Structure 1
Amino acid sequence: MTDEKIEYIQWYPGHMAKANREIKEKLKLINVVIEVVDARLPLSSKNPEINQYTWNKQHILLLNKADLADPEVSQDWIDWFKKNTDIQQIMLYDAFDRRQKTELVKNIQTLNVKNKAQIKCLVCGIPNVGKSTVINSLIGKKKTQVGNKPGVTKGQQWLSTPENLMLLDTPGILWPKFEDPAVGLHLAWLGSIKDTLYEKENIAADLLKYLVAYYPDELEAIYKISVVDRNLPEIFDAIAKSRGLLIKGGEYDYTRTSVLILNDFKNGRIGRITLERP
């Protein structure tokens, strides 16, 4: 995929602009901002406009889905955020790990806020980084709808935890324009952008190129192929052949192969992978 084509991956529908306005209206009630990003793409999945919510609030950054990310690179990102931001607390997080949930609650309770009896937290982030799963882990039951696609959370709602934390759940919000064309590409990999806005074959080819460079062993293991001395089209063909993804006439089905690669990454089946480095 060329840089020229990447530039056109932009998505900021009206409901996001509306949600942004509604959050600003409630900010005076908020003590703590819990910002959720995807540990596999910590910078690309961090909305730069969330700074307007946090400038006078306590701020926790959760690198969620840490169980799907490369642990060594995740630690590099923790160090990078501590060095380059003034965020009060930065955590690797797996919403299905009860110990991490307990640690997060303790971290919230130790923050410097006025009303310790009922701390009000804004939970925010871009689409498909797992905000609803984080909230469900904190409240101890399934109150918010979850799904591996953007736009599942439609409106805002207050939810309470057993520890008397009040959580404001919000829809995923992007920002009006991605200045760096690579960001749109990265967010397409995560599934944070509506998938009708780009060519899946181009997006999958760029993802495959990265995986060949940094995670060849994982690719070979999941698809039972060899990537040694093969160019990108040959590797694409090998994956299609390995999974029997053919169309009429016995030709390879590149559309289904592209969807397969993208879904296998999003769902963590390829392995623990991080797609950007600090």
Structure 2
Amino acid sequence: MEKNDAIQWYPGHMAKASRQIREKLKLIDIVVEVLDARLPVASKNPDIDQYTEHKRHLVLLNKADLADPDQNQKWADYLKGRDSVDEVMLYNAFDQKKRPELVAKLRSLNPKDKKQLKCLICGIPNVGKSTIINSLIGKKKTQIGNKPGVTKGQQWLTAPDGLMLLDTPGILWPKFEDPEVGVHLAWIGSIKDTIFEKENIAADLLKFLVGHYPQDVAALYKIDLADKRLPEIFDAVAKSRGLLLRGGEYDYFRTSEMLLNDFKNGKVGRITIDQR
């Protein structure tokens, strides 16, 4: 995208939520920062660093099952080296086998051997915070959805193993200094999809996928990428799925929606955007 068309999204409820979190920090023992494993840099809200000062800090690289396995380990090792981070864990909130490991990590960070640990679960929209909380509680207590803004307010929830969890809305920051950040966050569904042109964002995504994971694109859409320019590949994707308008023209809007949804849902393959 052109720089002057850079995506920015910071609605008023996010500023309010950020203030409310700061007001509750004195009650918090452990800050659980949830990142999208496919996007460990762009999915990190720099404002969360103010929450972790003088607190134990666990980074969860959620959706690790959707990310490139080689990149997963590289990012986990890198994040473990940061001064402010106590623990890093690759996670899949839908895999209940991971729950005991997460609980054990939280208990190991218990600052004063408290019987009840108060944990702040925070991160940007659509990284899976509510799903993580539901997995810890063991039953559905918070609404989840594959789009930003499902969690509106803050609430304390009690989980087994002596945990109290503060569920918070997804919070972005006031301005993305790098215009690529907004584009990448749109790919993973962390930006409200009515504020950008889906055709442009999908074309940017397809360019990245063809450049870094061409075999996955070719396999999913059953197309030959050889000697094709990006517009021709976009047309081939539309044709392979029969996404046509009357008169036989390609339906670029529906093709764009499909590309974005296929990526968000992991259908393209195990993809990492932020590469180390």
Q: TM-score, normalised by structure 1?
A: 0.97
The C-alpha deviation readout for 1:158-190, integer Å capped at 9, x for no partner, is 111111200000000000000111100110101
* Sequence identity percentage: 68
Instruction: Trace 1:113-152 onto structure 2 (pairs within 5 A).
Output: 113-114=111-112, 116-152=114-150
The C-alpha deviation readout for 1:180-213, integer Å capped at 9, x for no partner, is 1110011010110111111111100110001001
Instruction: Trace 1:182-193 onto structure 2 (pairs within 5 A).
Output: 182-193=180-191
Residues of 2 paired with 1:111 and 1:84: CA distance? Answer: 16
Structure 2 partner of 1:3: 3
The C-alpha deviation readout for 1:70-107, integer Å capped at 9, x for no partner, is 00011111122123443000110011222321111001
Residues of 2 paired with 1:228 and 1:100: CA distance? Answer: 41
Aligned partner letter, 2:51 = Y
Aligned partner letter, 1:150 = P
Structure 2 partner of 1:157: 155
The C-alpha deviation readout for 1:117-167, integer Å capped at 9, x for no partner, is 000000000000000000001010000000000000001111111112000
Q: Contact conserved, 2:110 with 2:117, CA < 8 A, in 1?
A: no
Aligned partner letter, 1:14 = G
Residues of 2 paired with 1:56 and 1:100: CA distance? Answer: 27
Structure 2 partner of 1:104: 102
Structure 2 partner of 1:56: 54
Q: Contact conserved, 2:52 with 2:84, CA < 8 A, in 1?
A: no
The C-alpha deviation readout for 1:211-254, integer Å capped at 9, x for no partner, is 00111111111111111111100000000000010112110001
Structure 1 partner of 2:221: 223
Aligned partner letter, 2:181 = V
Residues of 2 paired with 1:4 and 1:71: CA distance? Answer: 35
Q: Choose 80-89 or 51-60, whichever is displaced more.
A: 80-89
Q: TM-score, normalised by structure 2?
A: 0.98
Match of 2:14 among 1, 13, 16: 16
Residues of 2 paired with 1:98 and 1:149: CA distance? Answer: 22
Q: Contact conserved, 2:33 with 2:123, CA < 8 A, in 1?
A: yes
Residues of 2 paired with 1:49 and 1:224: CA distance? Answer: 42
Q: Does 1:171 align with 2:180?
A: no
Residues of 2 paired with 1:160 and 1:180: CA distance? Answer: 38
Residues of 1 paired with 2:97 and 2:244: CA distance? Answer: 45
Match of 2:79 among 81, 86, 97: 81
Match of 1:257 among 255, 258, 266: 255
Aligned partner letter, 1:56 = H
**Alignment partner of 1:60: what SS?**
strand
Residues of 2 paired with 1:113 and 1:166: CA distance? Answer: 15
Residues of 2 paired with 1:112 and 1:29: CA distance? Answer: 14
Structure 1 partner of 2:237: 239
Structure 2 partner of 1:29: 27
Aligned partner letter, 2:60 = L
Residues of 2 paired with 1:131 and 1:181: CA distance? Answer: 25
Q: Aligned pair in 2 of structure 1 residues 84, 56: CA closer, same or farther (>3 Å)?
A: closer
| Count of equivalent residues | 276
After superposing on structure 2, the runs of 4+ consecutive aligned residues of structure 1 that deviate more than 3 Å are: none
